[in-house]
């Protein structure tokens, strides 16, 4: 089947208390690892492409890789999503390039300007049959060129539930990324975070049925951190969002959970291990292959944390 948008995915996720995993892709091996896991677990899938990924691999290559994945897995609902589009022009280009979902991130603007740019993107995207995600509130950390507030400021920049209602009504956006204490990157927190689930509950009560999104939700798995550090890395203070917290959020109004850092860590850990254990190795297939397998295993686990394993058929 062709690429799909997230309407049916989010409808079923909200109804049945799970979330769809949104995984960032940058190359063939990462995409293959994700797809292999999703195919085995029969899960719906959102493949995200950031501005950095488009600069690194070019849209034509990434689109071709995703097109092959869709063609080879006709029983899987797969959405191609723009992650953190920062301007109307970027979102428009991605709509024109065949994305089925785009995110406009106007969270760094004033509330009024965020509404204005989001509405502009929504009007264009909806006219072309594409759904739109927006962001309200400010996350912490750093992801590519997305710079959030400092760790100490995270809890003072949470999404305001009343503003969320007004924002959704005035923009017509299809889903909303909310700030509830999560953070981008691997160095998210100084200690295990306590997420503001009360914010999700209040928004859910005010806009029942409306899908919310969690950004900055990688868990920074200890096994990958230990492998990276064992084989020459330096990630002693990397702390992520506990998987138990993610499982709790997806039982509420959270229908999409973004995961990027964990993919990078899985790939890097295995590449470092191969380099260290077989230093004479120079065949990319011999280190990218294990990295791809590590991504597959990690994604399979995430699909169960999110509760979307086995849900592909109901999202078609």
Q: Which of 83, 160, 174, 260 is catalytic?
A: 83
Alpha-carbon distance of 87 to 153, in angstroms, equals 25
- Contact (CB, 8 A) for 149 and 157: yes
Q: Which of 271, 260, 207, 254 is nearest to 26 (CA)?
A: 260
C-alpha gyration radius of the chain: 19
| Residue 294: burial class (beta carbons within 10 Å; 0-12, 13-18, 19+) | buried
In terms of C-beta density within 10 A (0-12 exposed, 13-18 middle, 19 or more buried), how is residue 85 classed? Answer: buried
Distances (CA, A) of 254 to 19, 56, 132, 248, 264: 6, 30, 16, 9, 24
* Cross-sheet strand order for the sheet of 146-147: 146-147, 140-143, 183-184
Token duo for residue 146: 């997305």
**CB distance 249 to 273 below 8 Å:** no
State phi, psi for 198 to the nearest 5 degrees.
Answer: -65, -30
Q: State how far Cα 36 lies from the chain centre.
A: 18
Q: How far is CA 28 from CA 35, 57, 274, 276, in A?
A: 10, 10, 19, 24
Known catalytic residue at 198:
no
DSSP H helical ranges for the chain: 7-16, 28-41, 51-57, 59-72, 88-96, 111-127, 161-171, 197-206, 222-230, 243-249, 261-277, 284-306
Catalytic residue numbers read: 83
């Amino acid at each position: 089947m062709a690429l799909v948008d997230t309407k049916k995915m989010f409808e079923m996720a909200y109804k049945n208390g799970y979330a769809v995993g949104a995984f960032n892709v940058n190359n063939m091996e990462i995409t293959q690892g994700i797809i292999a896991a999703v195919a085995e677990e029969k899960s719906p899938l959102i493949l995200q492409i950031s501005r950095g990924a488009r600069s690194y691999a070019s849209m034509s290559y990434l689109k071709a890789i995703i097109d092959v994945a869709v063609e080879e897995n006709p029983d899987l609902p797969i959405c191609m999503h723009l992650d953190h589009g920062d301007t109307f022009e970027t979102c428009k280009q991605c709509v024109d390039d065949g994305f089925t979902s785009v995110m406009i991130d106007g969270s760094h603007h004033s509330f009024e300007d965020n509404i204005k740019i989001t509405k502009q993107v929504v009007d264009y995207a909806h006219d072309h049959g594409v759904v739109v995600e927006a962001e309200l509130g400010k996350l912490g950390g750093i992801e590519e060129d997305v710079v959030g507030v400092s760790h100490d400021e995270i809890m003072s920049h949470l999404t305001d539930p009343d503003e969320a209602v007004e924002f959704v009504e005035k923009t017509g956006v299809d889903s909303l990324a909310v700030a509830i204490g999560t953070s981008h990157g691997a160095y998210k927190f100084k200690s295990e975070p306590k997420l503001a689930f009360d914010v999700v509950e209040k928004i859910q009560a005010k806009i029942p049925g409306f899908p919310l999104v969690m950004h900055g939700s990688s868990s920074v798995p200890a096994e990958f951190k230990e492998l990276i550090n064992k084989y020459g890395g330096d990630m002693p203070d990397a702390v992520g969002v506990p998987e138990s917290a993610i499982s709790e959020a997806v039982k509420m109004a959270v229908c999409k959970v973004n995961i990027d850092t964990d993919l990078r860590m899985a790939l890097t850990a295995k590449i470092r291990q191969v380099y260290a254990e077989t230093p004479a190795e120079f065949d990319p297939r011999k280190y990218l292959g294990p990295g791809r397998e590590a991504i597959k295993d990690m994604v399979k686990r995430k699909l169960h944390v999110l509760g979307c394993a086995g849900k592909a058929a109901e999202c078609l």
